[in-house]
Structure 1
Amino acid sequence: MSRRLPRAMTRLLIMGALLAATLPVAAQSLLIRGATVHTAGPQGSLQNTDVLVRNGRVAAVGAGLAAGDAQVVEANGRPLTPTLFGGVTGIGIEEVSGERGTRDDRLSLGEASDMAVRPEFDVTLAFNPDSIVIPVARVEGIGFTLISAGSASSIIGGQGAVMRLDGSVDPAGPKVLYLSLGAGGAEQSGSSRAAQWMLLDQLIDEARGRLPADSHVAALTPAGKRALAPYLDGRGTIVVGVNRAADIRQLLRWSKRHGLRIAIRGGAEGWRVASELAAANVPVFVDPLVNLPSDFDQIGATMENAARLQAAGVRVGFAQASDASHNARKLRQLAGNAVAHGLPWDAGLAGLTRVPAETFGVGESIGTIAVGRTADLVLWSGDPLDVTSTADQVWFDGRAIEMRSRQTELRDRYLRPATPASEGGLPRAYLKR
């Protein structure tokens, strides 16, 4: 005959079970043995090397490491890299690009002529770690992305940050501010790129308290002034969308005059001012497939842009020019194209790992394989910059993820033998006749 537990003890057991369910699972030790380890750091690429992971971090890198109680994965010479950067995207804040109700990346307040400047607009607050777009990216080796913000009424788009694609809700690093210049910001600046510099200088004067309290050009809210403060103090990075060489040159002068820290997204004509970019230590995130004069801001576009920038000493990263959220997995293909047009292979990998991690404030934890770094790793079937290679396994904090997404599930469903549903096959509508 069973005895019922006292009510107080029952409550205690339930509370204990609930608490255990909320605690993180203890990280499993892992040894990846015999890999070609592309560290993306000072050690470069290491042949037939082991990587030992304990407590979610890289504990050792070397040959012949003892496994101890660690789970062993035999790499058999396959490439091992840090997880890759997905570019500047709307991953986690955009489900379907053509359906406005599923997008949280853009602010729209009134007409463009109203110049509703809202640097306090922060898209990280809308990030959804359960987005169906995330597994599609991470099974392809993408481990982190910089989510973007835009505005229909201002050349200042708002703020974003690096998000790891491991299920985390909060940003992995500091916020960045978005700014759009040249033709990309013309509609928000009186249809003149000359007006952009005037407006930016006025905003800086306002944020720094140089405008009279009753000034008719005041555009910032108190929250907006607070949001701009770290960027105007040089503590935050401003990501500037710009392509034309003349605009880049003016941007470098403007940022130096005000003591601002910037990174460029686009830079189609960056190679024309490569020495100036290198001297200013400004990283450039390019799309290597932008090689045609599709508008007057990129008449000098070339597939050798990345190679020429890197040769001049510029830190080069990668970001797609369009449809980035749903095609983040193609960014390594773009890096491969840059390598095919003169960029050194190591620089191509760095542009997908170390360069974005360091630029956007997460380089102390991810972006390289080194002792003490977070064990966000990818084991590849072949060269990660070759489009024919695939990610065999991805780890976050040393934990293997399930290599499955909605796309793989659909693939597996429709590749199944066309047998009747009663026999466990496809529904009738999908049977071949």
Structure 2
Amino acid sequence: MSSSMHSRPPFRAEHVGSLLRPKALYEKRQALEAKECSLSDLKPLEDEAIKHVLKLQQDVGIKTITDGELRRVYFFEGVFDKLEGMVYMPNRPIATFKPYIPHIAFMYAAGLKESPTIFCNGKIKRTRPFYVEEFTYLKSLVPPEDVKFIKITMCSPSWFHQRHGSDETYDLSVYQNDDDYFDDLGKAYREEIQELYSLGCRHIQFDDPTFCYFCSENMISGMEKAGVDHEALLDTYIRAINVITQGRPEDLTVSVHMCRGNFKGGVHFSEGGYGRIAVKLFNTLDVDVYYLEYDTERAGDFAPLKHLPLDKVAVLGLVTTKNPKLESVDELKARVYEAAEVLCQGNPKRSKEVALNQLCISTQCGFASVWEGNPVTEEDQKRKLSLLVETAKQIWPNETH
């Protein structure tokens, strides 16, 4: 495991990844859903839309750039569906989904009898890229000196395992245990990251709703009733990412966004402070940066930050993407200084200057984790990103934001 920061922190003002689809692309996606056009009809509109959201990020002063995940239907698309050994199951019985998982509980409550998913029925191999084409296109739109600021987001390796558990995720004649499954999955992720790195990518972000699920009292009690060892499973999911990040280049930043749910209309799925998982997550997960959702009271207070080691960075998701209400600069500054004070009293104690250097600010999640997006307009999106930049300039006046 790395004992020092692999590269500089993210810029002080960040956004998590996904952005609203511009009007033309949104309408074409609607047409595709209605079977009024083909998937190939979307590509030219995606290309133009990516140019549009790139300019939006540049205009407001956001330095870490993404393509807004505009080519995806869901945030997790493009990984498991491209791996050899994985098969798409359009109508899997709901009984194979774990009812204690927060978003699965919604499915049970809605009376669903089946749901689409991915199942592992063979040895996992990466035979084609996940996001190389997407990275290459975005790279072609920026000056060579800005390529290192491109961030690629991808779903966590635990994404399908958490909904099906150790008994229903993979064919037990192919993998006998979770470690073997995640070892092969981790190898596939490493190969993807190595290719992206060779092309100039220097920031990989794992989007992971699973970790915050372990903050949910409802899930923990449900797992205990089902006889599932939640502490061991948390260790398994930490190891799954560590298998991927082992041996990474020193100048590659790896971050994890711990999401609480961001479904259609901005629906969330899990509640509970980070205290239950902070010690393990901050000290044993081999990543450089943690994107933490802190836009509502359901995330708890900043007290868990006292466990953040000196060589890690916390990005505070203080600006919500779930509604158009605009936060204020003064409000954000007060919360950053409150978080810094907690860090100062952590173990080990640190100066305010050191504490502030370990913090950044961001939106709490993306604006469109699914293609339909959240109930905000592009103008709302622009105002919120501009607010982050202005706040960062006031808190860290001597830095590039």
- Per the TM superposition, whether the score is higher than 0.5 is no
More strand by share: 1
What TM-score, normalized by structure 1, do the two folds share?
0.37
Greater relative contact order, per chain length (Cα 8 Å cut-off, separation 6+): 2
What TM-score, normalized by structure 2, do the two folds share?
0.39
Q: Which has the larger radius of gyration?
A: 1
